[in-house]
Structures are given as C-alpha cells and as structure tokens.
Structure 1
C-alpha cells in the first residue's frame, strides 16, 4: 500500500465526521429558521476566526487530547480503559491537595513537579488496579473501571464535603502560586484573554513522548505486540501481565493530568464535578484518532472546536446542539470505521481470488 493511500485511509474517518457535523448543523439551523451557512460561518469565526477563539479551542481541546491519549494507550495493550473519568477525578484531587498544602514560598520548579507527580501517581495506581484485576482474576477491565468510576465519584464527594471544601462551597482552597501553570498570554499577546495555558504544550509533549515510547522502546513495542496477539507474546516469553499493567498504569497517569490546565492554569482550585464528561470525550477522541498521533490531535481539536462553537452560536441554535453534533461525529466515526473494515476485507478477498 502506498504512503498516500495509507494517509488517505487515516484521514478519511475524521473528514467524514467533520462533514457529517457540518451537514447536521446546517439542517438544525434550517429547521430553527436560521440561515444554515450563516450559522456555520459564525461557528468558524467564533472558534478559529479570532485569536481569543483559537486560544479557547486549544484550552478545551487540551483535556480531551490527554484523555484520548490515555484511552488509546490502553487500547494498544488490548485493554479498554473506560475509567478515565474516575482517574481524572482522583488524580486531580490528589494533585490539588498537594498544591494546596505546599508553602506559598515554594518555587515553581519544585511545587509544580510535585503537584503533577501526585496527580499522575494516583491516577496510575487507580488504573493499574483494574489491569491487575484483569490479569490476576480475569475480571474484565470495562466492568472494574466502571465500578472504580463510581467509587472515585463517591470518594471525591466524601473528601470534599467532609474536609477539603471551603465552608458553604464545593471547591478547595486556592493552590500555592508555585504550583500554577502560566497562561500562554504571558508568552504571547496572540492568546490574550483566552484560558489556554502551558498545559496545551505539555499535552503535545505527552503525545510525542507516548508515540516515541510505543515505536522506539522495547517495552512500548511489547505493549503493542501484546495488544495484537497475547498468546504469541506469551510463547515468546514476554511478560504479558506486566505489560498490560504498565500500559494501564501509564494510561491512568496521563488521564489524571487531563484537568491540569483547568485546575492549575485557569481556576486555581478543584471543585466537585470538574472534568465531568472529559473521560468519555477522550474515548471518542481515541476512536476518531485511529491510533495515529496526528489523528488524536486533530480529533481533540475537532471536539474543542465544537465546544467553543456551541458557545458562539448559542444565540442561533440551542446549546444542546453541541451535544447533537458530538453524537453525530461519534456515529460517523463508527460508520466510517465499519466501512473501512469492509473495504479491507473486500481487498483481501480480491487478492486471494
């Protein structure tokens, strides 16, 4: 298969999803008595037509990208990490607790790594437990991660209401100044007024690091091999259980950093419900990205664009339209993936005949 054909096959799914979203937005606009093309242009202008809009798209895409990387990494090992929501919750809270108790005078070069380490290690342990249950007792990770999501929600709510939340609120104290992530507007006036912070470049580094690790390191390649053929890996002497636990642990660590941009770079505190929906959005990003780093980034930007566009066109169409468009994208991804598998099967059958 030529490189061009391979690239086109990778690009076909996100293009189909975007086309479906635009078509449905036009139909919704027409049904509500609006000029269809005008609504689409307004959405594009409000998201990518201004520097503020671009910054907001990047801000909204950051947690989705990290969640998508987390889901994709687990999938590489043959595991479906549906527990990203819970890992985000416990990891964000753990990181916030550390950031709150740190001395205000502690420099950022110490405070920020400690905060991120607390979040990542908590999320890693939370996710690795599900993989251990799978490898040790055969408990399917979908079931265990769903249960762990419920436990995480209850645990966070209990800790917040009993000890951590300020009286009469659902939020913690403000984090130490050294644990905060600076906004990109401090680097360039291009992002002036937007909420995007250094969390976005950090997410790109995570994407690059995971890609290089999977492709260049022996441990990363073994994770991929385990996902492709577990029995063959066992026959070759690869520690399958360890690789699954490693992949799931790294997945949880990455997931727990998803709300770093919001907690450390925007709000400066944690509150109950923060990050709700991001984990399941990450599942959509992972499937739309089709295991390709560029695909994951484009998928996150697409959903970030939909989120920002939904705010911009709220005067023309109801805010629920954003949810409809996201659902359309997911359905389009499923249909395009199915069509791709049928096409591959047809080509294989043609080659055999």
Structure 2
C-alpha cells in the first residue's frame, strides 16, 4: 500500500487524464487536422471530389472507345506496356486538348491566341451564370423555375427589339435594352408565380409550358416585318445597333464583352438580396417552411410572385446579354440550351452566388474545351456531356462520394469536433 501511494512521487507528477492532454492538441495540430477534414468532406470538398471522380470515369470511357487502345488490348498479356502506354496517351491527349481549348493554349504562336480559350470560356459562361443566379433564387425560396429557357428567349426578343429598332444615345440605349430584357423575363416568370399564388398551379408545369409558348412566339415574331431583316428570307432579325451593343473588354480580337462584368454585378446583387435584405429573408423563410412563415405574418402568396419575378428578371437579363453582347441578332436558336444548362450550373454551385460563378466557368470550359478535344483527338464531345452529367449526379449524392473515397460523414465530424 505504501509503495502504491509513493509511486507517483518516485516517477514524477501524476499523468493528467487523457481528456486534459487532448485539449492543447486540438488547439494546434488537432485543429489543423479538423480543418483539413472539414475541407475534404464539406460542400466544397465533395464538389471537387465529384469532379475528379467524373474525370476518372470519363477517362475510362475515352480509353474504351480509342481504337489504338483496343488494338493494344488484343495482345495485353504479351506486351502489357503497350496497352497501358496507349491508354495513358489517349487520356492525357484528350484532357490536355480540353485544357488548351478552355483555359490556355500553350502551343499558340502569339499571346493573344494563347489567351483566347480563356476568354471564350468566360464569354460562354456569362449568360449561364446570370441565368443560374435567377434559378438559384427560386431554389432557395422553395420554387423550381424550370422555365429559364423561355425567359431567356423572351429577354433576348424584347432586349433585341429595343436594340435594333430604337435610336438612342450610346449608354442610354444599352441600359434600356438591358432593362427590356429584365422586364420581359420578369413578366414571363411572374405569370407562373401569379398562377401559383392565386390557383395553386405548380410552377414546374406552368414554366415548362411557358417554354413552349415562348419558343413558338419567338418563331412567329421572326416571320413579322418588325423582326425580319430587310432583304433576307431567313428567320433572323436586323443587327443590334452599335449604341446598344455591350462593349468588348479586350479589343476586337476577343469576343469577351462587358456582359461578364454584368454577371459579376448580378452575383453581388444576389448575394446582397439573399443575405442582407428583407426580401431575401422572406424568400428564405418561405422556402424553408411556408406554414411557419405564414404564421409569422409573412404574405406567402405575394412572396411566390416576387420570387418568380426576380428569378425571371435575371434569366431575362441573361437573354439580353446574349443578344447584345455575343449574337448581335435574334434567331430562333439564340438561347441554345442556356436555360436548361443554367439549372445544372445552379445545382453545381449549390445555389450560392460564388459557387454559381465558378460552376458557370467550369461548365462553359467543359463545353468550349470539349469541342477542341473532339477536333484535335477525335474523341467524341459526348464524353464531355457524360462528365457533366456525372458531376451533377455525384454532387446530388454526397454520401455516395464519401462512400467511394471512404470519407467520414459530416455529422460524425461535427460530433467529434464538439466532443
């Protein structure tokens, strides 16, 4: 008994409990490890891992369809190095071509041509970012605006009409043309919001139907004298007057225009609206729990209308930017797939302005680089479409990404951190 009591005095002070020892570690190295785990398993980390996983699967598809790889596979057991070398060359050639077409062409003879891919990516991303910001407002308010395609068309039609019909001073003409696109998109989406507020009609069905209405309405307008170019039998409007065009940012050798600045300003506006304004608080409250918002005295029905109007105003602005900055004339296919792609961009960006901005650049880069990849290596651009779909799939299912990479779940990390 005496030996047991004096043992701590012989060997030094008693060792404190394990809990006391871990406290300083959590403040130093443990804190760094915790931050690393949060980065790799949080929303941003899952997005990056989802993109990497999609690229890996896309690489496997490139290998599967490459004729040189399939030829080498026929004698893989005799000379395995040939197969793996051909597979590696196939994937690296495809992805480097995509990089050169979307970001930086290091083989270009001049600096201007080397930077042109990045400017093309920014140009293609501009309407995607603006339209996705509008869709994100609806998402965060609990409304699914699937009618962005029609709102982009209407914004392009009205904004373009102001641009090629009116004759006004430079700055005023451009601002009124942009305003025309904003109003057209807001009114078009407001129809769905009004019907939902007054009759309970589901916004998804209404906005999808309005897509078809806008498509055929624009096709009809292009047959009228007001929207048809003089001396042409093609369904194409007159060109946008110079005073209404968005100015180029880097000179005539690049297509990048001031619409990209408009996209940045729109992202700041959406951030302020949803996080700093009373309207944004109402939108988020209605989206989280309409019944609770109604109990708190908020006008839920009018909020539905306002959400759709603001959402459509942004998507209409995207259409106006597209015609005033990139296309310079109205055609039936001016919207392309901007409205539908913007839904994907909003999902990739998790309905947050900063996330949408970078998601739009990523999505546009895949499209622009995919065309260069196809022309340079013969790899089908459908591979790019598969990669885009896989990114959305994996981002929509974070537990799947964590399971594939064997990462701890977010609730477990929170519990461990709090302990």
Q: TM-score, normalised by structure 1?
A: 0.90
Aligned residues: 346
Alignment pair present for 1:272 and 2:336: no
Whole-angstrom distance in 2 between the partners of 1:281 and 1:247: 20
Aligned CA distance change for structure 1 residues 154 and 135 (closer, same or farther; 3 Å):
same
CA deviation after TM superposition for structure 1 residue 3, in Å: 7.7
Native 8 Å contact 1:14 1:299 kept in 2: no
Higher relative contact order at CA 8 Å, sep ≥6: structure 1 or structure 2?
1
Whole-angstrom distance in 1 between the partners of 2:53 and 2:320: 32
Alignment pair present for 1:233 and 2:293: yes
Whole-angstrom distance in 2 between the partners of 1:230 and 1:350: 34
1:284 to 304, 325, 344: 344
Counterparts of 1:1-353 in structure 2 under 5 Å?
A: 9-31=42-64, 32=66, 33=68, 35-49=90-104, 50-103=114-167, 106-163=168-225, 164-166=227-229, 167-186=232-251, 193-315=253-375, 316=377, 317-336=379-398, 343=409
Whole-angstrom distance in 2 between the partners of 1:220 and 1:147: 28
Whole-angstrom distance in 1 between the partners of 2:248 and 2:198: 44
The answer for the alignment partner of 1:189 in structure 2 is none
Native 8 Å contact 2:132 2:342 kept in 1: yes
Mean Cα deviation higher: 84-93 or 265-274: 265-274
Whole-angstrom distance in 2 between the partners of 1:339 and 1:28: 19
Q: Secondary structure at the match of 1:58?
A: helix
Q: Secondary structure at the match of 1:197?
A: coil
Aligned CA distance change for structure 1 residues 147 and 337 (closer, same or farther; 3 Å):
farther
The answer for the alignment partner of 2:12 in structure 1 is none
CA deviation after TM superposition for structure 1 residue 10, in Å: 2.1
Native 8 Å contact 1:67 1:281 kept in 2: no
Mean Cα deviation higher: 40-49 or 94-103: 40-49
CA deviation after TM superposition for structure 1 residue 195, in Å: 1.5
Whole-angstrom distance in 2 between the partners of 1:266 and 1:298: 20
Aligned CA distance change for structure 1 residues 236 and 330 (closer, same or farther; 3 Å):
same
Mean Cα deviation higher: 56-65 or 80-89: 56-65
Native 8 Å contact 1:13 1:288 kept in 2: no
Q: Secondary structure at the match of 2:318?
A: coil
RMSD after superposition: 2.6
Mean Cα deviation higher: 168-177 or 135-144: 168-177
Q: TM-score, normalised by structure 2?
A: 0.77
Aligned CA distance change for structure 1 residues 333 and 270 (closer, same or farther; 3 Å):
same
CA deviation after TM superposition for structure 1 residue 320, in Å: 2.5
Q: Secondary structure at the match of 2:153?
A: helix
Aligned CA distance change for structure 1 residues 19 and 339 (closer, same or farther; 3 Å):
closer
Native 8 Å contact 2:162 2:177 kept in 1: yes
CA deviation after TM superposition for structure 1 residue 311, in Å: 1.5
CA deviation after TM superposition for structure 1 residue 216, in Å: 0.8
Q: Secondary structure at the match of 1:259?
A: helix
Larger Rg: 2
User: Any unmatched runs of 5+ in structure 1?
Assistant: 187-191
Whole-angstrom distance in 1 between the partners of 2:286 and 2:391: 30
Native 8 Å contact 1:52 1:194 kept in 2: yes
Whole-angstrom distance in 2 between the partners of 1:153 and 1:245: 23
CA deviation after TM superposition for structure 1 residue 12, in Å: 2.4
Native 8 Å contact 2:160 2:320 kept in 1: no
User: Any unmatched runs of 5+ in structure 2?
Assistant: 1-30, 69-88, 105-113, 403-407
Aligned CA distance change for structure 1 residues 275 and 17 (closer, same or farther; 3 Å):
farther
